[in-house]
Chains A and B, each alone.
Chain A
Amino acid sequence: MGTQSGHQARHRLRADGLRLSDLHPGEHGRILEMGGSEHFRIRLMEMGLLINDSVEVDKFAPLQDPMEIIVKGYHLSLRRMDAEKIRVELVKPDE
């Protein structure tokens, strides 16, 4: 419940939707759109991050940046500024 309302609050922070960097550890997000340069988007694809994929946020580093996500069953680390370019929607773990 707490995370749900937290999500609502975070969601309201941005006019154009939730970002991967907004998710809390343990939350799952489905990728809707990837921004940033083409280089960046291709690099993410090469690492297995595709539109419509679900990813789980595992944790944030002790100094709060970067963050660790689980995608296609493996662990990947991204800087928050990069994760901010990825628009997601909150989904339930099994979706």
Chain B
Amino acid sequence: MSKVFSIAVAGNPNCGKTTIFNALTGTRQHVGNWPGVTVERKDGRLVYREQTYQVVDLPGTYSLSTYSIEEIVARDYIVQDAPDIIINVVDAANLERNLFLTTQLIEIGRPLVIVLNMMDMAYEKGLKIDTETLGIILGAPVVPVVGRTGQGIELLKEKINRVQTQISEKARYIEIPFQRDIETQIEIIRSALVQSGLPLANPRWVAVKLLEKDERIWKYLTDFPEKNHLREIVAGAVAQIEKIFKDSSRAAISHARYGFIRGAIQECVQNTIVDPVDYSRKIDKILTHRILGLPIFAVFMWLMFVFTFEVGAYPMAWIDSGVSWVVNTLYTILPHSMLTSLVVDGAISGVGAIAVFLPNIFILFFIIALLEDTGYMARMAFIMDRVMHALGLHGKAFIPMVMGFGCNVPAIMGTRILESRRDRILTTLINPFMSCSARLPVYILVAGAFFPQHAGTVIFAMYLTGVVAAILSGKLFSKTVLRGKSKPFVLELPPYQRPKMSALLLHTWERGQIFIRKMSTVILVGAIIVWALGYFPRDVKYATDYNAKYTHLKQTYQNQQVSVKQAFENSVAAQRRQYFSTMVPFRSSTHYQELTNQRDSLLQKNTAWYRTEVVKVDYAKNAEAMEQKWIGKLGKIIEPFVAPLGFTWREGVALITGFVAKEIVVSTYGVLFGVGNMATEQNPGIITSLKTSGMTPLIALGFLVFVLLYTPCLATMAAIRRETGSLGWTSFSIIYSLSLAWLLAYGLYRIGSALQWLS
């Protein structure tokens, strides 16, 4: 067993870093988060010539200054975990800006292999790059690669192997030279660091960082004997540079790095075409056109919505019927016991209710991958930034907001496309107010019952209320709890690219499996809790003697069946006498046929009647039982809390079960009113029961507002927990939405009552 070497892949966003990472590791990948932060971390393995490499995909960054979490994560990994090799992926068609990160990687001084990716695009642009000379100048092997086709990947593996095994191939450490005035100050700080005797791997790099006023670098200097003295030295050096350059020391150093890059490019890059064709620019002339841009964008959004939710509805129905089939089959196979109920009613039905969202989620993630890989995502941000900026958000935040109308779970997971953590949290927090499709059945039921003439208007008003709540909450959060530094919007619009199916599927799977893995555990627990609330305690004392009802029903049914058969026999006997004279046998006569048909239909009708009556008794029994189960008791406990809104314990119970999934509110009502738990919107029983339960149109409206705004469902809460990475934000979201729902419903009820409106 030889040692496993570690490789870190670094590079700018849009440089094709992920393509290179995928090409190196294949499907042997693991997606997770960097500890403590919600920055995606991808790990993979490369085996080449019997040597195993652990490959980490660092977040894409333009620099290693420490302004963003991504940059901090990338730099900390390089400095603290000291990977054996750093692969720096560089976009050959955009060399000058990409090399800025390279200069910083060179300064850190870990063994480096530079991958010149997108050589084909550079060639199209008419750029001829002398990779040999570039390698000499940068002090690291340079490998030209076309990531999309895999050209050059074998050579890259070979180079990685040689850098690791052959000393002669090892990157020779070069220093990025600065102007004399800067060098003098670097030297002053460097010698102070060296004299302290602190074991620093690269004192020159630390000195440069100190000059750049990088506060995080002090983390490595905790053991420095005279820190105050060092601070004085640094402050003096910074002041000296700022006096000479009449600019901040950071800017002066950045300028110097670009100076080095320009020199390298002059040496190694030849421009063979004066005015290359910019295909992307031509496409953008239409897609971000002054007038056409917005309609085209709207059509794309609409298509995304249709694909995710309408096309997704087919596999959704398959899963739904699959789950029902499993539930029914298990019920017939397994003996009726608590364990059966736990497995079937609790686990399978509960998880099944969430599993139906899988197709939506996978389709959405596929579309997001498509938008990202083609480059249109950046254009969406470009087009929508003005609108989202008004909410204190980045243009890209528009996508998860719209997706929230479908389902908040994929929408919240979609906030990963946002780069800043603050934007991600803000978008996540306001997303549940976008009224998801699961709330629609509740609106249809309640609005249909109480506002039959204006159901459409009421439902539309709910959607609108949700949007307004999201906007106002967004404004409120960005002014209070999420004030933070608003980052300047500096967004690269990368060239359009033809996406690769394998990459799209890989990205879809990477994100989708997180949903499967994490959600199933949370949902499982939640579903079992709700099941237990409705299952215990087992001994229920019924006020009505249901057994007598069942017996009575059965008796009536059987009597009726007997009398129908008797009537048939009598008719046959009567008719047969008439047929005696004819030659036709009575049993083959049409008359006899009619009589049998009549009998059969009566028998069937009777059976159907019996079944519905039994179900009605079942429902009534269930409703009475519910009141005595924990869930009913819970409803009674929270009754004082919802009573000011005009709600009864039934609404309380419905709202509690709505935590699992909001559409369950409808079926809970069905159970509570004893009209069936498979209640549909068309079920007249539930509507009648609602109307006679003492609920007024005003209370109903308040109830709808509450359902719209209150604590999101379990799956959404799990998504919030996952994407914010914090229990604090999750609880905040729960408490905030619950309070908002309560206050608005209360306000509506109070004001409405005072005005005697809708009473």
Contact = CB atoms under 8 A, between A and B. Distances in A.
Interface string A38-59: 1111111111101100000011
A75 interface: yes
B385 A48 contact: no
B289 interface: yes
A62 interface: yes
Contact of A74 (B97, B258, B284): B97
A59 B491 CA distance: 14
Interface stretch (B61-69, B330-338, B622-630): B61-69
B231 interface: no
B250 A42 contact: yes
Q: A interface, by DSSP: helix, strand, loop or mixed?
A: mixed
B251 A62 contact: no
A73 interface: yes
B161 interface: no
Nearest to B294: A62
B288 A62 contact: yes
B492 interface: yes
Interface in B258-315: 258, 280-281, 284, 288-291, 293-294
A47 B251 contact: no
Interface in A35-91: 36, 38-48, 50-51, 58-66, 68, 72-79, 82
A76 B258 contact: no
A50 B260 CA distance: 14
A36 B93 CA distance: 30
B293 A62 contact: yes
B389 A42 contact: no
B689 interface: no
A10 B650 CA distance: 67
B157 interface: no
Contacts of B490: 43-44, 47, 76-78, 82
A51 B96 CA distance: 15
B214 to A, nearest CB: 11
The size class of the interface chain A forms with chain B is 20 to 34
Contact of B96 (A48, A65, A66, A82): A48
B125 A43 contact: no
Nearest to A78: B490
B488 to A, nearest CB: 5
B255 interface: yes
Nearest to B297: A62
Interface in B374-409: 378, 381-383, 385-387, 389, 395
Contact of A62 (B125, B248, B250, B291): B291
A74 B255 CA distance: 19
A72 B97 contact: yes
B25 interface: no
B290 to A, nearest CB: 6
A71 to B, nearest CB: 8
B288 A38 contact: no
B133 interface: no
A68 B287 CA distance: 13
B137 to A, nearest CB: 19
B484 to A, nearest CB: 13
A44 B281 CA distance: 22
A44 B250 CA distance: 12
A77 B290 contact: no
B67 A43 contact: yes
Interface string B310-349: 0000000000000000000000000000000000000000
Q: B interface, by DSSP: helix, strand, loop or mixed?
A: helix
Contacts of B258: 45, 48, 50
Nearest to B255: A50
Contacts of A38: 248, 250-251
A46 to B, nearest CB: 4
Contacts of A47: 62, 97, 490, 492
Interface residues of B, number: 44
Given A44-B490, A66-B489, A72-B94, A58 B281 contact: yes
B62 A46 contact: yes
Given A62-B294, A62-B383, A42 B65 contact: yes
A78 B493 CA distance: 10
A41 B290 contact: no
B100 A61 contact: no
B150 to A, nearest CB: 24
Contact of A45 (B255, B289, B491): B255
A45 B493 contact: no
A4 to B, nearest CB: 22
Contacts of A77: 378, 381-382, 385, 489-493
B400 to A, nearest CB: 20
Nearest to A34: B251
B739 interface: no
Most buried by A among B94, B97, B284, B489: B97
Interface string B489-508: 11111110000000000000
B94 A62 contact: no
A62 B289 contact: yes
A75 B287 CA distance: 15
Contacts of A59: 284, 288, 290
Given A38-B248, A74-B492, A46 B254 contact: yes
B251 A45 contact: yes
Given A45-B258, A63-B387, A39 B493 contact: no
Nearest to A75: B493
Given A41-B251, A72-B96, A77-B493, A82 B386 contact: no
A82 B488 contact: yes
Contacts of B381: 77
Contacts of B97: 47-48, 72, 74
A38 B249 CA distance: 10
A91 to B, nearest CB: 17
A38 B614 CA distance: 77
Interface in B91-114: 93-94, 96-97, 100
Across the A-B interface, give the 10 residue pairs with the lowest CB-CB distance, nearest first. Answer: A48-B97, A62-B293, A63-B386, A75-B493, A46-B63, A45-B254, A46-B62, A77-B491, A65-B386, A79-B489
11 contacts: A36-B488, A39-B67, A40-B488, A45-B251, A51-B255, A64-B386, A66-B386, A75-B281, A77-B493, A78-B490, A82-B490
Given A48-B258, A61-B386, 7 more contacts: A41-B248, A42-B254, A45-B251, A48-B96, A75-B492, A77-B385, A79-B488
Interface of B: 62-63, 65, 67, 93-94, 96-97, 100, 125, 248, 250-251, 254-255, 258, 280-281, 284, 288-291, 293-294, 378, 381-383, 385-387, 389, 395, 485, 487-495
